[in-house]
């Protein structure tokens, strides 16, 4: 039996690296939604009377820790500053340290929570972001990871983006966030362990293998590519139309991305996000970076990537109770639809 | 430093059994929500013109696989039938089997997905369910786990409940669901492994230890108790006002619950769900059962429990990207508020 033989039959699939099972249940897409049910996949942006992320409101936000000037006399095009309502915050170094007592392990919430403002214009759609601005955003990620990596109390920087209220965004003006933590987050730790196990067993980077097609063909569930990057739907996606973006050349650390690779990636992201809107009807979505922990040497087994997770369904009791997600769109079908909707590259 | 010393300071806490880190960020509760933002915590029920779960609509649903008659001449008080839009379904036994190829592990989606109708009356609030009906629901869980356990292709039965649209419910009439799968779900597998490791290390059941207070006091983060069960807020909750319900006597398998224990549990659940509504403002919520896999012997290290997870915040890019949840209410504070709101027992 191969994945595509029986498109309407449910399948359980396991992601080889995280060990995570998912349920692929195309039949369940036929389920009627209740009369008053909010369609969970429609993107709704949260607008405020005055946008504190627009130029002129700089004093409303904490002072910036990074800024990328635009061309000519533009003071900034991308700004990074501490989140005003942080999940974590820097604290005095001497209060840092693990407390372990019976089944309790706790760390004071030392960390860094920052917001990356993507452009001066009040854009709400990533696909509308000019190439040079999007490139500077991707460079800002790199620079913040490098800078934060110098603090030895921090082990990991998670970069993520929420688009639409359903995806957790509380501000419309395009922005990303990053949270630096004194531990490697749960899912990344599992992925790293799985990738290392796979590499020991086969000698391959499991991600490099995902990018290889057989007989000169594109890799399975191919969506799009640029000169340096490939986009696929993963084998065991948690979300309908989920996509992974990976560099073609093996690289474990996002920080190694060059300026020209960032431009290439920005253009590709705009193409696949355009395809996502067309194929899945403008869903709210998140994307997030999975990269190697801070201050680690280059890893032959790990391969940084960006995961794009449309919020096409609501996670409910089964998902939160088991960690197993139900996805009603087979990734083979999602990839075909996305592929057909990707605009031509430059 | 102890958990309660610094209530407004963020903390990272790790659940000792699952290894899952969470961020406890009380300050983040002050974050303003956008003007047009839907309050994610308000419970909204999805009503239909004609409820297919009410008496008289039995023909609209698949034939029942289990029914508990009510007193006197009531034909049923609790009904269980296959989900009309299943995530998984029974298939011919000869097509069952694991396919493994490179990084792909897949199983045909063999399984069972059932709906448990909780009472004849069109109730939408679990706290309004009469004790005898709620008891029959809890007994129905037991009976279905026992019956499904006879099928050797199935490894696990997940029982869960979605209340409110935000928690994934698409029908208002009170009901639970169960999904039986040919594997042990991700989160349960991790919890089992953690509990076994803990037991080997300390000789204790880690859950039994959670139920013990020091110096004759109640256990930490105590919420409520009945003669047979205890409710606590866990040390590292993913959700604000999250509660765990555990039997006082060690038991690894939910199937061992007696009828009188089911009544005791039903009454306690109604009390703590009443407290949840009062303390957290009628949130949408899920609850789900964590119990030992099917056909396993009694386990000294595992302890079945019910996790109640209010949907007080939307999981966003950080949560889905890292598995790390941000929770703005410290469990010590949540437990105190819940405790104060629990109505007296019978």
- Say whether A158 and B19 touch across the interface (CB within 8 A): no
**pLDDT value of residue B195:** 95
Is B175 near chain A, with CB under 8 Å? Answer: no
Low-confidence ranges of chain B (pLDDT < 50): 1-7, 33-38
Which among B102, B168, B169 has the least Cβ separation from residue A209?
A: B102
* Residues of B designated catalytic: 175
Whole-number pLDDT of residue B92: 54
Q: How far is A23 from chain B (nearest CA, A)?
A: 7
From its phi and psi, is residue B146 left (phi > 0), alpha (psi between -120 and 50) or beta? alpha
Token representation of residue A10: 């449910």
Q: What is the pLDDT of residues B207-238, one digit of tens each?
A: 999 999 888 899 999 999 999 999 999 999 99
Confidence of residue A215 (pLDDT cuts 50, 70, 90): confident
pLDDT attached to residue A90: 72
pLDDT digits (tens, 9 = 90+) for A6-40: 446 788 888 888 888 888 888 777 665 443 334 55
- Checking ipTM against 0.85, whether it exceeds it is yes
> Which pLDDT score is estimated for B103?
57
pLDDT value of residue A2:
43
Q: Would you place residue A98 in the very low, low, confident or very high pLDDT band (cuts 50, 70, 90)?
A: low
Give the best-scoring range by mean pLDDT among A166-170, A242-246, B53-57: A242-246
- Residue window 298-317, chain B: list those with CB within 8 Å of chain A: 307, 309, 314-317
Average pLDDT, chain A: 88
Query: A86 vs A278, which has greater pLDDT?
Result: A278
Residues A109-154: tens digit of each pLDDT: 788 999 999 999 999 999 999 999 999 999 999 999 999 999 988 9
pTM, two decimals, is 0.91
Dump pLDDT digits (tens) for B49-105.
Answer: 889 999 999 999 999 999 998 887 788 999 999 998 888 877 655 555 666 655 567
Tell me which of B263 and A48 has the higher pLDDT.
Answer: B263
**Pick from B9, B21, B105: which is nearest to A16 by CB?**
B105
Of the ranges A48-62, A226-240, B39-53, B68-82, which one carries the lowest mean pLDDT score? B39-53
On whether any CB of chain B is under 8 Å from the CB of A44, the answer is: yes
Residues of A assigned a catalytic role: 175
Backbone angles phi, psi at A152, to 5 degrees: -70, -10
> Given a cut of 60, is residue A1 above it in pLDDT?
no
Question: Comparing B244 with A101, which gets the higher pLDDT?
Answer: B244
Q: Count CB neighbours of A54 within 10 A.
A: 15
Is the distance from CB of B221 to CB of B235 less than 8 angstroms?
Answer: yes
Residue partners of A295: CB distance under 8 A and separation at least 6: A149, A152
């Amino acid at each position: 039996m191969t994945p595509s033989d029986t498109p309407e039959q449910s399948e359980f699939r396991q992601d080889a690296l995280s060990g995570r099972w998912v349920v692929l249940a195309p039949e369940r897409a036929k389920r009627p939604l209740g009369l008053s049910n909010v369609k969970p996949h429609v993107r709704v942006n949260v607008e405020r009377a005055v946008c504190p992320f627009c130029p002129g409101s700089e004093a409303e936000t904490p002072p910036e820790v990074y800024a990328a000037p635009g061309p000519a006399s533009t003071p900034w095009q991308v700004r990074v500053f501490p989140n005003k309502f942080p999940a974590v915050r820097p604290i005095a170094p001497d209060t840092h340290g693990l407390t372990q007592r019976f089944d309790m392990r706790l760390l004071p919430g030392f960390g860094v929570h920052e917001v990356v403002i993507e452009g001066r214009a009040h854009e709400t759609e990533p696909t509308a972001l000019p190439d040079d601005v999007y490139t500077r955003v991707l460079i800002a990620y790199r620079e913040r990871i490098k800078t934060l990596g110098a603090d030895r109390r921090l082990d990991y920087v998670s970069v993520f983006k929420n688009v639409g209220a359903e995806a957790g965004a509380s501000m419309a003006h395009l922005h990303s966030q990053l949270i630096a933590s004194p531990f490697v987050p749960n899912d990344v730790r599992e992925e790293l362990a799985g990738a290392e196990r796979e590499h020991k067993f086969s000698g391959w980077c499991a991600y490099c293998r995902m990018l290889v097609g057989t007989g000169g063909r594109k890799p399975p569930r191919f969506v799009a590519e640029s000169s340096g990057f490939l986009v696929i739907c993963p084998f065991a996606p948690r979300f309908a139309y989920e996509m992974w973006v990976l560099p073609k050349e093996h690289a474990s650390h996002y920080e190694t991305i060059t300026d020209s690779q960032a431009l290439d990636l920005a253009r590709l992201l705009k193409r696949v996000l355009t395809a996502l809107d067309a194929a899945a009807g403008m869903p709210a979505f998140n994307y997030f970076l999975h990269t190697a922990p801070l201050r680690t040497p280059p890893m032959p087994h790990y391969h940084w990537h960006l995961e794009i997770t449309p919020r096409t369904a609501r996670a409910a009791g089964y998902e939160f109770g088991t960690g197993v997600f139900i996805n009603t769109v087979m990734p083979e079908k999602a990839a075909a639809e996305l592929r057909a909707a990707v605009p031509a590259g430059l």
